[in-house]
Amino acid sequence: MELNEKLLSLVADIYDASLDDSRWTTTLGSIVDLAGGQSGGLVWIGAAGEAMISHAVGVEPAHVQSYIETYEPFDPSRGVLHAPVGQIQTIRDWIDVDEFRTTRFYNEWARPQGLEDAANIMLHKSAEGISRLSIMKAGSAVDRRMYQVISHLTPHVQRAVLVRQKLQQQNALEATSARTLDALQTAVLLLDADGNIVHSNASARDILDEADVLRSVHGRLVTSDLNADRVLRQALAGTVLGDRAMTSASISLHLMARDGSRYVGHLLPLTAGRRQMFAAGYEACAVLFVSKAALDTIVAPDLIRKLFKLTPAELRVFLSIVEIGGVPDVARSMGIAETTIKTHLARIFTKTGTKRQADLVRLVAAFSPPIKI
């Protein structure tokens, strides 16, 4: 295979390695072989000056270890850190050959391996650190062929390193986002247009495991309430079709478990405005938030009473409506006439700005603590 064909093939391998870190060692070995080198390494130097060899070929593990622990500060190749990004530098660009051969680095680290020179390129420089590629030559100085091969491949290696760093940053961000979502008491489910679950947090997985209010059927979200399920399907379809009413605001769902527990769902489209950027990362068109309408703390009732200026009797009716259900059940539970409950309920609606009992359930859900404790 001619040199140009080998270079083209190797360029493809370099970009494959940017997406799959396990390919870097083999790809680096191919670069070293094509350039006529003996060994090579991808070196990362952090902002604090600490060095790390992320990938190395042609070097014994003991020499890699000793380089990091002892010899890296004495390596003349570190001069590349002061060179322009992408420029090839050799040992001889920084130190005279005869002087190099008197150094501790040469006599204790390079010479025992038969190394006489190295081509070094700074690939990337940022506030976080510096990455560089080193290809070491045995027996003689860097020659024309090595320089030619490295010159051709350097721009591609630079792009590959940047792609890899962006992917690592994205993975770190996603991991942090996942941990944050898992800490939420509210269930969070990212859904595609067909209602398939793209991502779910820990609270959502707990609800799905119970398979009561929500369940997953072959990866597709299904609700316990047929009417809520119909509204959910219509809303998801509307977000994809560009229905302005479906893409601008959230949609509320009222759900009930077999034991009578009440849940409130809010479906937020992700197909409008800046939300589209978030959706693209998960192939989702909407996010569903589901909260149990339960007063999990002793603080919430008092907050509700003070915020809406409810009397003790009104607060008791308010909480009973949420926890027990309709007027007849509440009346029986409290031993009060239904007409009295209805009178209190009318005042509660006025003070809270609500119109239906379902609105009171949603109101209570808003007072649930957002973080698991």
Q: What is the pLDDT of residues 63-101, one digit of tens each?
A: 989 988 899 888 888 777 778 888 888 988 888 889 999
261, 294 Cβ separation under 8 angstroms: yes
Whole-number pLDDT of residue 280: 46
Among 12-16, 172-176, 207-211, 253-257, the range with the most confident prediction by mean pLDDT is: 207-211
Residue 357 placed within a domain? yes
Specify the long-range contacts of residues 240-249, CB closer than 8 Å, at least 24 apart.
Answer: 240/193, 240/271, 240/285, 242/271, 247/271, 247/272, 248/272
Residue 372 placed within a domain? no
**Average pLDDT over the chain, rounded to an integer:** 81
Residue 229 placed within a domain? yes
- Tell me which DSSP letter residue 336 carries: -
Residue 373 placed within a domain? no
Closest CA to 267 of 300, 245, 294, 295: 245
Cα 127–chain centre separation: 22
Question: For residue 200, what are the β-bridge partners?
Answer: 189
Range(s) of the domain holding residue 68: 3-176
- Helix, strand, or coil here: 341? helix
Amino acid at 45: I
Whole-number pLDDT of residue 168: 66
Q: pLDDT tens, 94-111?
A: 888 899 999 999 999 999
Find all residues with CB under 8 Å of 3, minimum gap 6, and list them: 34, 149
- 161 with 234, same domain: the answer is no
Which tokens is 325 given?
Answer: 């259900």
| 15-19, 105-109, 158-162, 365-369: least confidently modelled range | 365-369
Domain boundary pick from 272, 292, 312: 292
d(CA 54, CA 318): 62
At 337, phi and psi to the nearest 5? Answer: -65, 145
- 172 with 208, same domain: the answer is no
CATH code (residue 258): 3.30.450.20
- 308 with 252, same domain: the answer is no
Helices (H), the chain: 3-19, 24-35, 61-66, 97-100, 104-105, 144-182, 202-210, 226-241, 244-248, 275-282, 299-308, 312-323, 327-334, 338-352, 357-365
Which tokens is 27 given?
Answer: 């790809």
- 120 with 225, same domain: the answer is no
Amino acid at 185: Q
Q: Evaluate if residue 248 carries a pLDDT over 50.
A: no
Question: For residue 190, what are the β-bridge partners?
Answer: 199, 287
- 61 with 17, same domain: the answer is yes
Domain boundary pick from 144, 176, 208: 176
- 22 with 161, same domain: the answer is yes
Domain boundary pick from 142, 176, 210: 176
Question: For residue 41, what are the β-bridge partners?
Answer: 56, 134
Which tokens is 148 given?
Answer: 């030619």
> What pTM value is reported for the model?
0.49
d(CA 73, CA 79): 11
Q: pLDDT tens, 263-301?
A: 878 788 876 544 344 444 447 788 888 877 655 444 467
Residue 263 neighbours by CB distance under 10 Å: 25
